[in-house]
Structure 1
Amino acid sequence: MNTRPRKVLIFGLDGPVAPALLRYCREGKLPALARLIDNGVLAPNAMVPLPTATPANWTSIATGAWPGTHGISDYNVRRPGDPLDRAHMAFHSPDVKAEYVWNAIARAGKKSVVVNFVTTWPPVVDDGIQIGGSGCDINQWFHPNLAVASQEQGISSDAVRLDEDGLGTGAAAPGVFAASASGGLFCTASFQPDSRVPVRIELAAPEGWSNLPAASRLLAAELEVRASGGRYPLAPPTWQLLVVDTQGKGFDRVLVCEHKDAAVSLAELRVGEWSGVLQHTFPTEAGPERCAFALKLLELSADASDLRLYHSSFCALEGWSSPASLATEIVSTKGLPNPDSGFFGYDKGWFGANTLLEEIEMQRQWYADACTHVMKNKPWDLFVMRYHLPDTSWHSIPHVLDPRLAKNAEERRQHEALELGIYQACDRLARDLIECVDENETLLALISDHGAKPAGHPGIDANAILQDAGLLARDAAGKIDWSQTRALARPVCWIHINQEGRDPDGIVHGGEHYRAVQDEIIQALSDYVEPTSGRKPVLFALRKEDARFLNIYGEQAGDVVYALKHDHGYQHGPFLPTADWQGGSLRGLFALSGPGIRKGVQIERNVWCIDLVPTICHLAGWPVPRDTEGAVIYQAFEEPGC
């Protein structure tokens, strides 16, 4: 067998809990991933940078460089001349300062395909194909002039619009997490979800309809679609609903039509049924936007008093690929390029786990169709697919991660079934990709950017701690008084000193004055006692220069760096990659399989996510990106000296 692979396939998962995934592999429930791992090398001590944050760590994976080198330190970046409280979302490719692996190998004439990889939009593939990259999932568009705040600092974790006086307004910004329009629910008044009132419908005898079906009883209603949450203002369509009692035994089906003509329907549905993939074209300020969506009849009682009809997000079918024409080639009859995977409706109590898993499968199917089309029909040497599903899941359904939150054994069983269903979607996507390659000639890599853990005791409001310590001042209106402010906390684990000569409103001199403020900050963080638990949540706080051994450095890092204890705070972020708690783990996932790789081996040494790129380049004989700082994992090779 040739020890030098001809191709490389990287399958990335965002935020999987490695111990859980590996347990399901051992139990035979994830056959594709288990086969990859069993036929290759697994690194159980897979380490990722602090903070454990999506854009920073995927950029490290793609460049082989530490965040201080590539310039993406967490979810935000601060650009030259910005005041301390100004931030921009770190998903914008011009902010990346290091060379990506796909551009390095293009120098040797190698072609790459990059799918759904964060911090890569506008497109960054020099010679090849790119699908997505503008957000965490296909059809998410993260505007570079928006910031992500942190729950650890008492600010909404949603994206927030920047204002002139503070980190943000605290309100979700339109167009941040956007398909063309968000999902919606039509229902009768009997349904009372936990949050966000859906569109209420009033059923009445049909008027003005043509071609009505023969039926015992008919009811009708207008469906006013709320086309909101997208990149552009949209003119929402109004559909027509016909509810049918076919045989006088109770209402049993619905027709959804664009007009009052029952002979031409978008869908005919019974309870529990999905429509096929449907399309609608919206006029927008940027031109027509062709979208895909699907409908499901969730509930219909015999007397029609209980009715729930769901429509998925409207998902743009173009605008997310390079070359742009590629999007028109991708046809998925059962899949949706849906950025929220169904969690938008699930989180609001519109439907349960079964419908959620069905919509997850639609998103997975779309990725599979898009990837396999390109793999079979386009030239490529490196194929990179990043799947965000695990991370989306744990943020939306964190209770599934935490066995303490199940009320009883049955509820715990339901949580475990949902967790397994999420990982099985990942496994099916991996299967579909691997089936497109010759495993005798292709190096397979499985990797993640971080893990996740259950939420613990409360985290910290770092700016409140600084204010109590006299390091941050506000005026009577609550705005920051820069003339009296010596430090400000920024997401995710950084405290920045308001330094004279560096920051626009700087008041702290350099030298001993600067170091004294660092020490005050460290003392304040270290002394803080979280009131509800009576515990000190800060694991450590370090001067920036002392954090160099953690590979923390560069302009984006704070003057003081801190981490929280594993049993405080949320799923990931200001935690070490070694944090394990209540079945969760922040460790990464790292496995290799294929030509030149040992089989059925675990290597116990620490393996860093930045080691992937130099390792695959070494084995494939490709140029290494010019900024790579990772090391070749020789212990994974059949012939370590090759």
Structure 2
Amino acid sequence: MYLVVRQSPRHYNFTRHTEASNPPLPDDLVQESVRFSTRIVTAAIFLLLPLSGPRAAEPLRVVILGFDGADPKLVEQYMAAGKLPNLSRLKIEGTYSRLATTNPPQTPVSWSTFSTGINPGRTEIFDFLKRIDGTYVPEFAMGTEGKKPFLFGAKTPWVLGTGGFAVLAALGTLACWFAPGGRRKVAMAVTIVTAMGGGAWTGWLATTRLPRQVPDAINHRKGVTLWRWASDHGVRARVLHVPNTFPAEEIPQGHMLSGLGVPDIRGRIGSPAFYSSDPGLKQRLAENQFSIEFVELSAATGHLETRVVGPYNKPFFDYPVDEALASLAPGEDRAKARQRVEKELEAKGVSRRLDLPLELEVAENHLTVRLEGQQQVLTPGEWSGWFVLTFPVNWLVDHVNGIRGIARFKLISVRPHVQLYLSPINFHPAFEPIPFSYPKGYAASLLSRLGLFKTLGWPIDTWTPSAGLGDEHLFLEDMDFTVRKEEEMMNDFLKEGKDRLYIQVYDFTDRIGHLWWRLLDPRHPLYNPVEAARFAGEMEKAYVRMDDIVGRARALLPPGTMLMVCSDHGFTSFRRGMNYNTWLVKNGWMALKEGPGGTRSLEDLFDRGETGEFFKFVDWSQTRAYAMGLGTIYVNLAGREPRGSVAPGGEYESVRQGIIDGLQSYVDPQTGEHPVLRVYRREEMYRGFDPSLVPDLRAANGENYRVGWQTALGEVPPNIVEDNQKVWSGDHCSVDPSLVPGILFSSRKLIRENPGIQDIFPSVLRVLGLPPVEGIDGQSFF
């Protein structure tokens, strides 16, 4: 700050006077002298202020906008072309750098490190999938479904029955005091009978209409989060849609809407439905790897009655079956017992799945949807508004807290065949059986401000296009609908300006990257020049939209706010898939008892059946290693795996080295390229990890390669390398992290180079003036 003191030119006639004849000074001279002295003192104060003590911490607020999968190559290309003026301005005024990602560069892995400042070995989120401890079965690494007691669990009927008896007995006893003396004995007898009957009825009601257990969710991420640490130190925080924040975390001085990890109402990552009268579509979906619920319609015109596939009735069907099986004596036939219990439940009218009747009226050029007392008429290409769906359990549950969801339809065609799309069914914002917002009821409180909004953690449907259903317009329209509501949230909250720490993650940059790369890469197996000419420009539009979001955010922020824009990883083309289990078999590391199994889908991660066995065809006695997940390889280690064959120590290291050498030297016979850039030992990637949990090796692909679709779920396809013939054509998950860094823009300049995503946590703490977290892996770049 510079203070310039200017003095207007004035001329005074100063005459020497004796003491005896000292006349008063002119008034204007006195006033001018005072003004001059005041200016001098003021200037001195301002000049000395910096020396008087430390300045207050600046800036007072931090806003972080995350864009999942925003690729630095595309960002730099579009900035150079003048397409991203707001990000370009942020780069000039502050900083732009490529941001080193995690190993592996996967969304839940990277954002977990962003959230905690520690490496994936310590967060224990090191892949989308991991083994269930003590088995060969995969499960989602972010979190798993559990159970928790409802009210008092198995004691609920007894507690409520006893409570009902006590309440009625107390009321009756009180009434007896007012009864005439001769009738008190009768009144007391009536009271006792009524209380006993009421208690018994209440207990019966609790037994037949209330569950003992209800679903719960367990987040496996370890480490203290940035927002929790800030909140614990007095900073008000708001966190929107950060991946792997489900269930919603308690933030004493803040708010949260969970991101990736929130399931749909069926407990899936997102399971859309597709209704069609085209018999050929069913055959095309025979190998449905994306959990699409296909419903075949009986006709192509007129009145049709079908169903909306609802959630599983776990508390009243699956859990009683599980309890019955758990009580079996050793050696009893579990399959027969399961069948018996299921038939008993069905005879009582208990359904395993809570479907809803759906009526369709197909006319020449439109279709009418009737569902849950709601009706909308659609023409081809038109989306419906939200349908609010209530899935009936029983009259008591429905009345107290019924299962509510929201979904939208899109009519794709009525001729020659009906094709009707139903989005994944989101939890209604006012129905949180497991909290996806904090504080309690926060999502519901937003309804009056924002209207209905998606709650699903994977909100943009990539599964339907990847299965070859719908078209580019379906995806683009769904993306626009989703992002508009997210933009509305951001605008509303930033205008409000109450949060010192504001974090919001958009995921549309990732989702379009997965589906659109085939339109940008002429060497991709699915590249079509006609489609590329029509749709390739949508990628640029998505990045321009990202830039517009940044510009609107900057316009809403008061001076002194630090703005940070980042992504967790970039992208590369996914032309060919590398099947690691096939390579292991053909190179003697894995042995099969019979031929490879069939095609697996995401649904297998949920519906494991009785045994939950994935590798049924593997001869574990002769198997030294197996692959599961997105590039992770496990040694079949004795003492850790249930049927381990490799001894710890020298043999373990020999197996690892042999696999490293073999994979890194392998050449794709079709392209002459190395599909695997590098194989990492776990200790090269992480420190402080649990050796019983973390995979022994990770194979990192080179550009244009990714792990094969079936290898991720433990299968053994026929070929080691195969073309990727799916619309899901861009990826990053199993690629070497050096090839797919993220982006980092900051309104404040960095004091060092080569920032990593783990460094954001301590950097934000420094800006906010908060104490550091001891022992984290990140280091501040401010």
TM-score (structure 1 length as normaliser): 0.74
Aligned-pair distance for 1:347? 3.9
Match of 2:746 in 1: 592
From 257, 261, 275, give the equivalent of 1:131. 257
Counterparts in 2 of 1:292 and 1:175: CA distance versus 1, 3 Å: closer
Counterparts in 2 of 1:272 and 1:56: CA distance versus 1, 3 Å: closer
CA contact (8 A) 2:67 2:508 kept: yes
Distance 2:407 2:425 in 1: 5
Match of 1:573 in 2: 733
Letter in 1 for 2:663: L
Q: Which has the higher contact order (CA 8 A, sep 6+)?
A: 1
From 93, 117, 133, give the equivalent of 2:242. 117
Aligned-pair distance for 1:503? 4.3
Match of 2:142 in 1: 91
Match of 1:153 in 2: none
Compare 226-235 and 121-130 and name the one that shifted more: 226-235
Aligned-pair distance for 1:118? 2.3
Match of 2:660 in 1: 522
Cα offsets for 1:345-372 (capped at 9, x unmatched): 4445554333422221111123234445
CA contact (8 A) 2:256 2:439 kept: yes
From 87, 112, 122, give the equivalent of 1:69. 122
| Unaligned ranges ≥5, structure 2 | 2-55, 144-217, 286-291, 315-352, 596-615, 708-730
CA contact (8 A) 1:13 1:388 kept: yes
Match of 1:164 in 2: none
Counterparts in 2 of 1:481 and 1:309: CA distance versus 1, 3 Å: closer
The alignment status of 1:606 with 2:754, answered yes or no, reads yes
Distance 1:57 1:336 in 2: 23
Cα offsets for 1:312-357 (capped at 9, x unmatched): 3332223222223112122345854464524344445554333422
Give the helix-richer structure, 1 or 2: 2
The alignment status of 1:292 with 2:430, answered yes or no, reads no
CA contact (8 A) 1:201 1:221 kept: no
Alignment map for 1:544-555 (pairs within 5 Å): 544-545=682-683, 547=684, 555=691
Match of 1:102 in 2: 227
Alignment map for 1:214-613 (pairs within 5 Å): 220-222=302-304, 224-227=306-309, 233-241=353-361, 243=363, 255-258=368-371, 266-284=375-393, 287-299=401-413, 308-318=419-429, 319=432, 320-331=436-447, 332-333=450-451, 336-337=454-455, 339-375=458-494, 379-405=498-524, 409-427=529-547, 429-430=549-550, 433-434=553-554, 437-459=556-578, 461-476=579-594, 479-545=617-683, 547=684, 555=691, 556-569=693-706, 571-579=731-739, 586-593=740-747, 597-598=748-749, 605-613=753-761
Aligned-pair distance for 1:139? 4.5
Counterparts in 2 of 1:328 and 1:18: CA distance versus 1, 3 Å: same
Aligned-pair distance for 1:51? 1.4
Letter in 1 for 2:274: G
Distance 2:702 2:278 in 1: 47
Match of 2:65 in 1: 11
Q: Secondary structure at the match of 2:483?
A: helix
Cα offsets for 1:438-491 (capped at 9, x unmatched): 2413221111121111113442x3233333443333435864343333333333
Match of 1:639 in 2: none
Distance 1:505 1:537 in 2: 30
Aligned-pair distance for 1:383? 1.8
Distance 2:667 2:63 in 1: 47
Aligned-pair distance for 1:63? 1.1
TM-score (structure 2 length as normaliser): 0.62
Distance 1:624 1:34 in 2: 31
Q: Secondary structure at the match of 1:51?
A: coil
CA contact (8 A) 1:203 1:221 kept: no
Counterparts in 2 of 1:333 and 1:108: CA distance versus 1, 3 Å: closer
Counterparts in 2 of 1:359 and 1:223: CA distance versus 1, 3 Å: farther
Letter in 2 for 1:292: I
Distance 1:404 1:538 in 2: 19
CA contact (8 A) 1:91 1:134 kept: no
Alignment map for 1:195-210 (pairs within 5 Å): 195=285, 199-200=296-297, 202=299
Cα offsets for 1:175-218 (capped at 9, x unmatched): 43236xx24345688999965765536466xxxxxxxxxxxxxx
Distance 2:618 2:366 in 1: 59
Q: Secondary structure at the match of 1:607?
A: coil
CA contact (8 A) 2:675 2:702 kept: yes
Aligned-pair distance for 1:94? 4.1
CA contact (8 A) 1:368 1:433 kept: no
Distance 1:513 1:345 in 2: 45
Distance 1:221 1:462 in 2: 50
Pairs aligned (count): 550
Counterparts in 2 of 1:330 and 1:528: CA distance versus 1, 3 Å: same
Distance 2:230 2:494 in 1: 18
CA contact (8 A) 1:276 1:333 kept: no
Cα offsets for 1:411-461 (capped at 9, x unmatched): 3222322323433454455556555x42413221111121111113442x3
Q: Secondary structure at the match of 2:575?
A: coil
Cα offsets for 1:224-254 (capped at 9, x unmatched): 34325789733223234364xxxxxxx6655
Aligned-pair distance for 1:608? 0.8
| Unaligned ranges ≥5, structure 1 | 142-173, 205-219, 244-250, 580-585, 635-642
Indicate the RMSD between aligned Cα atoms, in angstroms: 3.7
Compare 339-348 and 614-623 and name the one that shifted more: 339-348
CA contact (8 A) 2:631 2:700 kept: yes
Counterparts in 2 of 1:76 and 1:294: CA distance versus 1, 3 Å: closer
Letter in 2 for 1:464: T
Aligned-pair distance for 1:609? 0.9
Distance 2:91 2:296 in 1: 47
Distance 1:18 1:229 in 2: 40
Match of 2:26 in 1: none
Q: Secondary structure at the match of 1:105?
A: helix
Match of 1:619 in 2: 767
Aligned-pair distance for 1:387? 2.1
Identity score, percent? 23
Counterparts in 2 of 1:431 and 1:102: CA distance versus 1, 3 Å: same
Letter in 2 for 1:313: P
Q: Secondary structure at the match of 2:535?
A: helix
Letter in 1 for 2:777: E
Q: Secondary structure at the match of 1:475?
A: coil
Counterparts in 2 of 1:544 and 1:199: CA distance versus 1, 3 Å: closer
Cα offsets for 1:258-301 (capped at 9, x unmatched): 59xxxx9733444544343343333358752333333444446x
Q: Secondary structure at the match of 2:738?
A: coil
